[in-house]
Structures are given as structure tokens and as C-alpha cells.
Structure 1
Amino acid sequence: MRLRIFTEPQQGASYETLLKVAKAAEELGFDAFYRSDHFLKMGDVSGEPGPTDAWVTLGALARETSRIRLGTLMTAATFRLPGPLAIAVAQVDQMSGGRVDFGVGTGWFDAEHTAYGIPFPSLNERFERLEEQLEIVTGLWRTPAGETFDYDGRHYRLAESPALPKPVRPEGPPVLIGGFGAKRTPRLAAAHADEYNVPFHQVDDTGLAFDRVRAACRDAGRTRPMVYSAAQVVCCGRDEAEIARRAEAIGRQVPELRENGLAGTPAELQDKIGRFAELGAETLYLQVLDLHDLDHLELLATEVLGKV
């Protein structure tokens, strides 16, 4: 089981804070450092010093780390045009030596679009745009050197693009698609994703979502393998007092976290991770909400990572 650290910087984190977490994740042996792609805080937090851009952050971390993979859960298709997005991700992939994963979704948080002047179309249009962006971004990356790329869609049109720069691998970085939708998400994942992620659902519901994507892969005649993964908020402690302290620091209740996330003692986390593994999950994204508690990462590394 690969364990990856997943952060939510819009809740309040500077680049310097993210750098400390990414370096700790690398030194402690985690597989990857991921971050959300949001521009506005959620819930009762200050959000200060304000948002940091996902791909600017990852570009900097690409030069500050050497082993861990770097990625997004998930880049919002509403935030960026597909051509410039393909350029940015390919450049960060080059800067990291091929350690980038490309997670992309429709975008869903209306308020952040309003706050920063970003159009927020209907859900149907957002899915249409996501599908076209997947076709364009991967098409640009996979166009042979010296050839051009053209695309004529409902929402985007490209003509005689030189399809540069190129990522490290000819096929481009791995593509992640996530969500819990019953129809469109499984179809998109089967067509475009290297990895399908279920965010913040209980074990049984995660299994149902995995099964929907497996069925979509069969229906599409897909033969290449799919990586299945899940994201869970994490709150680990050696005893009940430590668990409660960490839950309080992120504004959550221990019973709720035990039910809906990865919370409890290291042994409890190992058991629940095993249940995800039984469903076919190969990777778990540990949502770390208190980015100043590096002792939490060390506990997870020493008492959980090495035992799953």
C-alpha cells in the first residue's frame, strides 16, 4: 500500500509551511506529496495568509525535493485553459525529473469562482469541458515531436499547435480522475485515467464506486490496468488523549473521524487501511489538516507506513 500526504493549503498555509511538510514527507518515506487546487477557504478557519497556486507550488517543490511524487487532488478544469495547463504541468514534470501526477476534475466550489472572477458553468457544461480538457492535454503531450496538434470541440479549439513542451515520459504524467458519480465519472475514468480515486467515503461505499469503474472499464473494452485509490482525513495518536488533541486541532470529533476517516491508534489505522486494500486500493491519500504538526507525520511514518 502506498501512503501519500495530501494537504489543503487554502485552509491557511504559506509556501514555507508546505515546503516543510513536503520535505518531511520525503525524509520520512512517504510516496508522494499532494495538494488541493482551491482559491478559497472552507469552514470556520481564517485561511490566512491566503491561497497558493497549486502548480506554482509544485514547480517550486520539484526543485526542493528529489524522490517523492508531486500532484493535485484535483486541479479544477474551470481554473485554466487546457493549452496553458498542459504547458504548466509538462514544465513541472520536467523540473521534477518526471515525478508529476496530474489529477483533474470538474471544479465544484461555486464561492471560490465568485470570489476570484472565474466563470462557473452548469455541472453538465463542466463535465463537457473536463472531457475536452482531458483530450486536449493528453493529446498535446502525446503528439510526436515535430508534428502539430489540432482540436475542434464544443468549448475549445486548437489549430496547428506545436504541442510543446513535452513531459518526461512520451505518454505524459499519470492522469487521476476522482469522484463518486455513478455514470459520467466512471466513463471518464475508464476512457482517460491511469488512476481512479474515491475521496472521503466509507469503506463499503468506496468499494461500490470501485466496482462502477471496473464495470465501465469492461464496457469500454479497456485492457490496460487501473490503479484504485482513496483519500481519507487522518488523525492518529498513541492514546486517546493524543487522538483527541489532534481532532480538536482540526475542529473535528473523534467518533465522527473514526467512522468517516482514518482515525485512532496506529493499530486502528493499520486495520482500516487493510480493509481498503481488500477492495483493491493500492494507494491511500492521507489528508493532513494540521500542517504545523510534523510530529503527526513522524508517528504515521514510524507506526503505520512501515507496517502496511
Structure 2
Amino acid sequence: MRVSINITRYSWPDGPERLGAELERIVRLADQTGLDTVWVSDHLLQADPTSTLDAEMLEAYTTLGFLAAHTRRVRLGTMVTAATFRPPALLVKAVTTLDVLSGGRAWLGIGTGHHQGEADAMGLPLPPLPERFERLEETLRIAARMWANDTSPFEGRHFRLGGPVNSPQPLRRPHPPVLIGGMGEQKTLRLVALHADACNLFDIPDGGRTIRHKLGVLARHCEDVGRPYGEIEKTVSARLGETESADGFAERCAAFAELGLDHVVVITNGPWTEDAVARLAEAADRVRTA
């Protein structure tokens, strides 16, 4: 069972002047423990439902570059980028750059996007959902071609690339792992089966019923497209309680593993603290040695 942190909040008490130092302190601690990945949200406005739109939010790929410079081991990625935020070649280039400069530690975390208020406020494209799925699939196809060093023209419904050169190629071969966020049964999980290395589900308090069902749907899609189900890393997003003990969270991780999940991506109600990272790392150690 892999355990990771997802940084969604940047409102540390000392304000923007100390934000870089606080972020560095948290990610260095994560890097020194057994945590697997440091994820960041890809938003321009704060989207955490426990916060407010005008709270501090950093641009994702600039932040990941900062994290790469202050870590040596943990993997790095977005949870998750909206496929409409950036032109596909720019996104692939950003992930490739992160991978090269971090020594092969980048993920491509991607989804359709959902935050209409953010899109309206910041002038970001957020077309109707069917078109977002079309753009997501084309972006995944473009990423696969660019990472395969295929420079031939791409002609899609939404994107046309005359000759997408991607140099240097990523260090992670055959390419940085691709995670698709979302639980939609007809389109999202089918795209996972077709194009992704990992899915991301949500921790819903129903005794595991929803997760079992979604994983069953994913398994059927894998069978339909001829993809081994075991190739896909099954991740789940969960929240660490403010007073939750390492033992308590380790028990939750064990329950996730029984459901067939491989990787827990953890958020907190506020900014990450050293205590919260330490409790999570202790829980991860206990899961590994159980």
C-alpha cells in the first residue's frame, strides 16, 4: 500500500512571506519518510470546500518545479489537471520537463475538470462535459504519441498539431505514469482502461460498497479492451482527521487494501503540518510492516 500527501491548502499562519519556507519544510519531511508522492491541486482559485475562493492558491506546475528542487525521492504530480486548462502539447512539455529535472519522478494527473466558478472568474475554458471528455481523450492520445517520439501531424476534432517534437524525452520510460481522476462508469473508467496507469476514486463512507462497484466496472472495461486489470494502480483520495492517530489511519489503509486499492492519497482540512506528515508517515510504515 502506497501512501501520499495531496497539498490543497497554502494558508500557513505566517502569510505569503513564509509560504515558500513552509512548503519546503513539509515536502522535505515527506521526502525523508516513506511517503510515495507529493501531489498538488491544479487550480488558480482555492477549490477546497473547507476553504474560500480567495484563499492562497499556487499555480501547479510552477509549484511542482519548486518541489522537485527540494526533494530527491518522492514522486510529483497534479491531482488533477483539467484537460481544458492548457493546450495538450504545452501540458506534455510541462510534465516532461518536470520528469527530466526531477530525475524521472513525474506523474501526469488529468481529468475533465469541473469548477465552473473558477472558470468564469478566471476566464478559463470549461466547455460542456461531452466536449471535455473529447478533449481529454485527444490529450491522452497526443501525450502517448509525443512520449513515443512520434512527430507526425495529429488531426483531432479539437486539436491539430503540425509536428509535435518533444525533446528531451522523459527519463521515466516508457513515459511518466498517467493517472485519470474521476469515477464515471461509462466514460472515465473506460478511458482509464484504454490510456491510464492509475485511477483515482473517492473515500465514500458506505462500507466500501461504492469502491467495490467502481473497481468492478473498471475490471469489466479492462476485459472489454484487452487490458490486464492488474496493470492499473488503484488510488483513493481520503482525508486525515485532525486528531486521527497513526494507528487509526493505518487501520483505514488496511481496509482500503482489502477493497483492492493500492495507493491512498491524503488531504487535510487545513495546510499540512509537520505533525500531520509525521502521523501519516508512521501509518504508512505500519501498513508496510503489517
TM-score by length of 1: 0.84
Q: In the alignment, does 2:198 pair up with 1:195?
A: yes
Could you tell me which residue of structure 2 aligns to residue 247 of structure 1?
A: none
Q: What's the counterpart of residue 174 of structure 2? A: 171
Percent identity of paired positions between Structure 1 and Structure 2: 35
Counterpart for residue 27 of structure 2 = 22
Structure 2 distance, partners of 1:44, 1:64, is 28
Once the two structures are overlaid, the 10-residue window that deviates more, 42-51 or 60-69, is: 42-51
Counterpart of 1:98 in structure 2 is 104
Give the match for residue 246 of structure 1.
none
Contact 1:105 1:177 in 2 (8 A): yes
Asked if 1:74 is matched to 2:54, the reply is no
Tell whether the 8 Å contact from 1:4 to 1:286 is kept in structure 2 after alignment: yes
Q: Secondary structure at the match of 2:43?
A: coil
Secondary structure at the aligned position of 1:281 is classed as: coil
Q: Is the 8 A contact 2:201 2:236 kept in 1?
A: yes
Query: Is contact 1:174-1:195 (8 Å) kept?
Result: yes
Matched residue SS, 1:190 = helix
Whether 1:41 aligns to 2:41 is: no
1:138-181 CA-to-partner distances (Å, cap 9, x unmatched) read 211112xxx52321000000112223331113421000012111
- The code of the aligned residue for 1:75 comes to T
- Write out the 4+ residue segments of structure 1 that deviate beyond 6 Å after TM superposition: 10-13
- Quick check: 226-235 or 289-298, which moved more? 289-298
CA contact (8 A) 2:105 2:172 kept: no
Closer, same or farther: CA 104–10 of 1 in aligned 2, 3 Å: farther
- 1:258-277 pair list within 5 angstroms: 264-277=244-257
Query: Which one of 36, 42, 67 corresponds to residue 31 of structure 1?
Result: 36
Tell me which amino acid in the other structure corresponds to 1:104: I
Contact 1:228 1:281 in 2 (8 A): yes
Q: In 2 relative to 1, CA 141–274 (structure 1 residues): closer, same or farther, beyond 3 Å?
A: same
Q: Are 1:15 and 1:52, in contact at CA under 8 Å, matched by a contact in 2? A: no
Rate the CA distance shift 1:8–1:219 in 2: closer, same or farther, 3 A: same
Measured after TM superposition, the shift of residue 274 of structure 1 is: 1.2
Does residue 51 of structure 1 match 2:57?
yes
Distance apart, 1:48 and its partner CA: 5.9
Query: Are 2:284 and 1:284 aligned?
Result: no
Matches within 5 A, 1:218-233: 218-223=223-228, 225-233=231-239
Q: Aligned residue for 1:6?
A: 6
Higher relative contact order structure (alpha carbons within 8 Å, sequence separation ≥ 6):
2
Q: Which amino acid aligns with 1:79?
A: F
Compute the displacement of 1:46 (Å): 4.9
Instruction: Extract unaligned runs of 5+ from structure 2.
Output: none
- Paired residues in the alignment total 278
Cα distance in 1, alignment partners of residues 182 and 219 from structure 2: 14
What is the deviation of 1:286? 1.0
How do residues 141-152 of structure 1 correspond to structure 2 at under 5 angstroms?
A: 141-143=147-149, 148-152=151-155
**2:275, 2:164 → 1: CA distance?**
48
- TM-score, reference length from structure 2: 0.89
2: distance between equivalents of 1:286 and 1:292?
A: 10
Q: Which residues of structure 1 form unaligned runs of 5+?
A: 237-242, 244-263
Aligned to 1:255: none
Q: Contact 1:17 / 1:291 at 8 angstroms: preserved in 2?
A: no
- Equivalent position of 2:213 in the other structure: 208
Alpha-carbon offset, residue 113 of structure 1: 0.8
CA distance in 1, matches of 2:275, 2:9: 18
